Amino acid sequence: MLTERQLSIFKAIIELYSKDGQPVGSKTLLQKTDMKFSSATIRNEMSRLEELGLIEKTHTSSGRIPSLKGYRFYVDHMINQKEGTKEDQSSYIQNALSHQFQKMDDLMHHSADVLSKLTSYTAIVSGPEATSSRLTGFQLVPLSGGQAMAILLTDTGGVENMVFPLAENVEYADMEKMVRIIEDVLVGKMLTDVYQKLQTDIPVLIRKYARSAEIILHDLLSVFEQAPTERLYISGKTNLLEFTEHMDIQQVKSMYELMEDGMNVASLLTRENGDIDIKIGEELKNDLFSDFSLVTANYQIIGYGEGALAVLGPTNMSYKKIIRVLNTFRKELPEIVLRFYLNQEELKRVNHL
């Protein structure tokens, strides 16, 4: 347990280092805070905080900086993870995402851009789980060079396509029959159901009515298998460059390559109990991010699934500010996404009239 005095000194060190990025000494604390303690008292308490492993010396200064253990103590015990929303941020998010987006991809990309601008860090957004999407259209287009393109459309405005080699003995008439079978049996069903039926019911129908097209079923499975996977939208990757002065060129390149790999980034996100999750330094389990922290928040759209919002920045980020932004964002985004879904459903209703 820390005393009230130790807590106030520790909190001040956290906040000053977050603001200035410079090691904090007793003189700085006296100059930049309203503390009434003597310089000797502050030095003694800082020594105690250092003994406890909450702050540490740097090689270039007599001041102290928070340790990873210190940051963990701070975020677990000294800040409110239900930090309230801000009206000006709510208005900014609503205005920035008020466009009539045609596709969910566009809305999610723009959401990541807005989150990055609000925080000045790297933002990661995952859309509502695509497993709740339904198939609304399917096309199979022969291409030159003995290839074909499979195109599928979803009710969220998503478009999936894949080009694959077309076997010579596939008859064009059978390809047309395959498309009709898929349209008749699968359109309107959830993508998870579509994928299952492509392995069970559809092969039986293809063998019966379009035998030569059976050999491309494996390629179609690949298209539908990719569709339900979680998509990540990342914005502000160049903001990382401001915090990589200790890295060599190869390390920076490796970090960027990792950020391009959706599976690697997805593994960093945590979805637990709908709470704010904070991973600091080594908790990200990647040496490239030893001086970074990732703050993640989930959001839920009733009836459509859930997604995640995350901010990647330096360990000395203002956690209180980032938590407030994420709480504001996850309050506003579900309403915006829900309006998108309702607009898509209304468009479909009108088009069928």
Q: What is the pLDDT of residues 294-326, one digit of tens each?
A: 999 999 887 667 789 999 999 999 999 999 999
Q: Does 61 have pLDDT greater than 80?
A: no
Q: How confident is the model at residue 255 (pLDDT cuts 50, 70, 90)?
A: confident
* Predicted local confidence at residue 295, as pLDDT: 96
Half-sphere exposure of 134 (CA within 13 A, CB side): 14
The DSSP string of 234-267 is EE-GGGGGGG-TTS-HHHHHHHHHHHH-HHHHHH
Q: How far apart are CA 134 and CA 33, in angstroms?
A: 57
Rounded CA-CA distance 255/266 in Å is: 15
Delimit the domains of the chain by residue range: 4-77, 87-129+231-352, 131-226
Q: 131-226 sits in which CATH class?
A: alpha beta
Please name every residue paired with 312 in a beta bridge, in sequence order, or none if there are none: 122, 294
Distance CA 125, CA 266 (A): 10
Mean pLDDT across 248-269: 81
In this structure, are residues 278 and 75 in contact, taking their beta carbons and an 8 Å threshold? yes
Quote the mean pLDDT of the chain: 86
Distance in Å from the first CA to the final CA of the chain = 68
Determine the CATH number of domain 4-77. Answer: 1.10.10.10
Question: 162 to each of 152, 260, 317, how far by Cα in Å?
Answer: 9, 20, 41
Gap between the Cα atoms of 111 and 232, Å rounded:
11
Predicted pLDDT of residue 131: 55
Q: At what angle do helices 87-96 and 104-119 cross, to 10 degrees?
A: 140
Distance CA 251, CA 62 (A): 29
* CATH number belonging to domain 87-129+231-352: 3.30.450.40
More confident residue, 13 or 218: 13
At residue 247, φ and ψ (nearest 5 deg) are: -95, 150
Helix (H/G/I), strand (E/B), else coil: 112 = helix
Total-model pTM: 0.76
- List C-alpha distances in Å: 145 to 161, 165, 167, 176: 17, 8, 11, 19
Tens digit of each residue's pLDDT (9 = 90 or more) over 80-133: 887 777 788 999 999 999 888 877 788 999 999 999 999 999 999 987 765 567
Residue with tokens 């901010």: 311
220-245 pLDDT, tens per residue?
Answer: 887 777 665 567 899 999 998 888 88
